[in-house]
């Protein structure tokens, strides 16, 4: 279902614009949404045989929407900074009339009868959906690669022999490669931030409840957070501002006003107190030297920008958070997929089947113990984080490994420091903070107080503006 | 408090059958035995909350929509 109109080769100068740059040109009528969408469809056509970022490309629909956007803008009906901007979504977001697969053999023929609230909000703002992106089955995996799903593995645009991170595999790839101007993923234990880290883009897991999950295949109700992946932090804030806000269709949705994350984003960080988490306990993975060096250099940049850095300690080691997230995920995910596991487990990939098997053998009392412990950990962690304006934490402990190294693949995913903030619900942004000796992106997390995404973006924007990493794009 | 004695293959087969999995391949049954042991160990490692009033996260909210 990769419907592709015939197009001229991609124009790299267009597909590598940021949203902010493109929207200025569109608003000034110096760039046509049709020209922009054609450039992205040409980029997809030119790169998909190597990257496999997409499961479904909606070429004709995107071009029709672009023509409508062009006509509306010409008639003076400009909707704002996302009008005419092309994006893509992980293939666990529903779009009415379009197939949702979840990258699963269980859903290859499923055509959605609803549209995710986040997509409705984006298209109402004028954004144009290019297609549905590759993922691990139902967002499930420990990082081990079994290559047993119905679609080819997505490949890292910085080096196609390297891992993409998951589970929103295609989302990080598409944004880095310039085959989507931004993407939406979903994050249960790191599934937005890990692919962002692997691909050198910025990925936000907002506070639990900020973004509606209505119309998205659930993985684990009490941990799932939908979120954007973008090239810059400013773009990320713009997308989150559009998709955030209360939605009665999602029982976990927070009923709060959404602040303008862009207001004050460029105000700098002089005088801010930034907590630094350096030690995640004795069972945290050892950190690759280049990743450590770039994290230390990031601390120095933040200090140079006027922030006061203070080392902080979390109330539990990384493993203490990970065990909670794992147990909750086993229980809730099994509850979602029980019938399929009992009747059609043979259609599941190994990663999903293993998780279902874990859920099948788990006791209810252990799930409830995990939720009780989670609440206590969230409160004690918040007491530490809320003493700071924001916090700098590791993201992955190494750069994206090659596909054939199962032990390191698991370390990249399962050993990452991302699940801490799924357990606690705090907002956490994965941000590119340099490259290793092989040219692969390194990453860190900037973490905020509950519902204070604005400060996270402010810190990230200051760091991004002071460093050269956004000038580097993968060569394809 | 928690018995983390490893499951035997016969125990796991009986458990699977009791809860509806009656046609498992031997390889999946063996994998289930391995995973069940890991789950039991991981679950036993979750700290139990000291007070009975320590509730889980409030996932049930009213009014219901």
Average pLDDT (A37-48) is: 98
Q: B54 to chain A: which residues are within 8 Å by CB?
A: 372, 375-376
Q: What is the 3-state secondary structure (H, E, C) of A22-67?
A: HHHHHHCCCCCHHHHHHHHHHHHHHHHHHHCCEEEEEHHHHHHHHH
What pLDDT, in 10s, does the model give residues A334-372? 999 999 999 999 999 999 999 999 999 999 999 999 999
pLDDT of amino acid B53: 75
ipTM over 0.85: no
Annotated active-site residue A167? The verdict is yes
Query: Is it the case that residue A67 has pLDDT exceeding 70?
Result: yes
Helix (H, G, I), strand (E, B) or coil at A211: strand
pLDDT of amino acid B22: 85
Please report, for residues A159, A228, A462, A471, B53, the alpha-carbon distance to residue A231 in angstroms, rounded to integers and kept in the order given: 18, 10, 15, 10, 45
| Least confident residue range of A121-125, A363-367, A457-461, B52-56 | B52-56
Annotated active-site residue A355? The verdict is no
Please state, in angstroms and rounded to a whole number, the distance separating the CA atoms of residues A56 and A52.
Answer: 10
Annotated active-site residue A191? The verdict is yes
Query: For chain B, where are the alpha helices, taking DSSP H only?
Result: 9-18, 26-44
Which pLDDT band, with edges at 50, 70 and 90, does B18 fall under?
very high
Is the pLDDT higher at B61 or at A1?
A: B61
pLDDT of amino acid B56: 72
Query: Is it the case that residue A5 has pLDDT exceeding 50?
Result: no
What pLDDT, in 10s, does the model give residues A99-110? 999 999 999 999
DSSP state of A207: S
pLDDT of amino acid B52: 74
pLDDT above 90 covers what percent of chain A? 96
Average pLDDT (A185-196) is: 98
pLDDT of amino acid B59: 61
Give the orientation angle of helix A453-466 with respect to helix A233-243, to 10 degrees: 160
Q: Are strands A54-58 and A225-230 parallel, antiparallel or unpaired?
A: unpaired
Query: Is it the case that residue B47 has pLDDT exceeding 70?
Result: yes
| Least confident residue range of A159-163, A166-170, A426-430, B18-22 | B18-22
Average pLDDT (A5-20) is: 73
Which pLDDT band, with edges at 50, 70 and 90, does B51 fall under?
confident
Helices (H), strands (E): how many in chain B?
A: 2, 0
Ordered structural domains, chain A, with CATH: 15-317+375-471 (3.90.1300.10)
Q: List all residues 6 or more positions away from B63 whose beta carbon is below 8 Å from its beta carbon.
A: none
B65·A248 Cβ contact <8 A: yes
Q: What is the 3-state secondary structure (H, E, C) of A226-285?
A: EEEEECCHHHHHHHHHHHECCCCCCCCCCCCCCCCCCCCCCCCCCCCEEEECCCCCCCCC
Partner B, chain A 295-324, Cβ-Cβ below 8 Å: 323-324
| Sheet order of strands, A273-276 included | A2-3, A54-58, A128-133, A86-90, A182-187, A225-230, A202-205, A428-435, A441-447, A390-394, A273-276, A308-311
What burial letters (b/e) apply to A331-350, b meaning 16+ CB within 10 Å?
Answer: bbbbebbeebbbeebebbbb
Average pLDDT score over chain A: 96
pLDDT of amino acid A408: 95
Q: Best of B47, B54, B58, B60 to disrupt the A interface by mutation (most A CBs within 10 Å)?
A: B47
Which pLDDT band, with edges at 50, 70 and 90, does A59 fall under?
very high
pLDDT of amino acid B54: 76
pLDDT of amino acid B2: 54
Query: Is it the case that residue B58 has pLDDT exceeding 70?
Result: no
| Active-site entry in A32, A104, A179, A191 | A191
Question: How many inter-chain contacts (A to B, CB under 8 Å) are there?
Answer: 77
pLDDT of amino acid A12: 61
- The 10 Å Cβ neighbour count of residue A15 is 23
What pLDDT, in 10s, does the model give residues A229-270? 999 999 999 999 999 999 999 989 999 999 999 999 999 999
pLDDT of amino acid A89: 98
Average pLDDT (A52-70) is: 98
DSSP state of A120: H
Query: Is it the case that residue B63 has pLDDT exceeding 80?
Result: no
DSSP state of A98: S
Q: Is the dihedral of CA A163, A301, A278, A287 positive or negative?
A: positive
Residue of B nearest to A343 (CA): B21
How do the domains of chain B map onto residue ranges?
9-44
Average pLDDT score over chain B: 84
Which pLDDT band, with edges at 50, 70 and 90, does A7 fall under?
very low
């Amino acid at each position: 279902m990769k419907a592709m109109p015939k197009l001229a080769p991609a124009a790299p100068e267009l597909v590598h614009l940021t949203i902010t740059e493109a929207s200025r040109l569109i608003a000034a009528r110096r760039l046509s949404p049709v020209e922009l969408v054609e450039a992205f469809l040409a980029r997809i056509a030119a790169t998909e045989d190597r990257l496999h970022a997409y499961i479904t490309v909606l070429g004709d629909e995107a071009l029709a929407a672009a023509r409508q956007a062009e006509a509306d803008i010409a008639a003076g009906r400009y909707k704002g900074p996302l009008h005419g901007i092309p994006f893509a979504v992980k293939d666990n977001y529903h779009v009415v009339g379009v197939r949702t697969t979840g990258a699963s053999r269980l859903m290859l023929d499923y055509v959605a009868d609803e549209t995710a609230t986040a997509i409705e909000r984006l298209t109402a703002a004028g954004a144009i959906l290019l297609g549905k992106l590759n993922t691990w089955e139902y967002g499930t995996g420990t990082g081990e690669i079994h290559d047993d799903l119905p679609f080819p593995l997505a490949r890292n645009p910085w080096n196609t022999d390297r891992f993409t991170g998951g589970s929103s595999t295609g989302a990080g790839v598409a944004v880095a490669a310039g085959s989507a101007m931004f993407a939406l993923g979903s994050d249960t234990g790191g599934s937005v931030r890990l692919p962002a880290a692997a691909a050198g883009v910025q990925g936000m897991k907002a506070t639990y409840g900020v973004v509606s999950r209505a119309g998205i295949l659930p993985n684990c109700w009490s941990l799932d957070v939908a979120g954007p992946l973008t090239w810059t932090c400013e773009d990320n804030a713009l997308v989150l501002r559009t998709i955030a806000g209360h939605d009665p269709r999602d029982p976990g949705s927070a009923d709060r006003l959404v602040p303008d994350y862009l207001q004050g984003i460029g105000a700098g960080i002089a005088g801010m107190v930034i907590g630094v988490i350096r030690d995640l306990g004795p069972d945290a993975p050892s950190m690759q030297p280049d990743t450590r060096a770039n994290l230390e250099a990031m601390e120095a940049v933040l200090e140079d920008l006027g922030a006061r850095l203070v080392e902080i300690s979390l109330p539990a080691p990384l493993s203490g958070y990970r065990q909670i997230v794992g147990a909750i995920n086993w229980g809730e995910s099994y509850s979602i997929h029980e019938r399929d596991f009992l009747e059609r487990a043979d259609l599941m990939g190994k990663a999903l089947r293993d998780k279902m098997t874990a859920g099948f053998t788990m006791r209810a009392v252990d799930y409830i113990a995990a939720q009780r412990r989670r609440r206590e950990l969230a409160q004690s962690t918040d007491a530490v984080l809320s003493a700071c304006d924001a916090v700098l934490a590791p993201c992955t402990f190494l750069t994206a490994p090659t596909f054939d190294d199962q032990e390191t693949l698991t370390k990249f995913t399962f050993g990452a420091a991302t699940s801490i903030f799924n357990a606690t619900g705090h907002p956490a942004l994965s941000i590119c903070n340099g490259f290793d000796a092989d040219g692969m992106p390194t990453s860190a997390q900037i973490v905020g107080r509950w519902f204070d995404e604005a400060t996270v973006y402010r810190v990230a924007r200051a760091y991004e503006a002071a460093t050269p990493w956004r000038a580097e794009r993968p060569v394809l | 408090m928690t018995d983390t004695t490893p499951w035997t293959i016969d125990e796991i087969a009986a458990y699977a059958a009791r809860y509806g999995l009656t046609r498992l391949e031997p390889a999946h049954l063996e994998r289930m035995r391995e995973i069940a042991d890991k789950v039991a160990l991981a679950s036993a490692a979750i700290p139990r909350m000291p007070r009975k009033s320590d509730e889980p996260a409030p996932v049930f909210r009213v009014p219901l929509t």
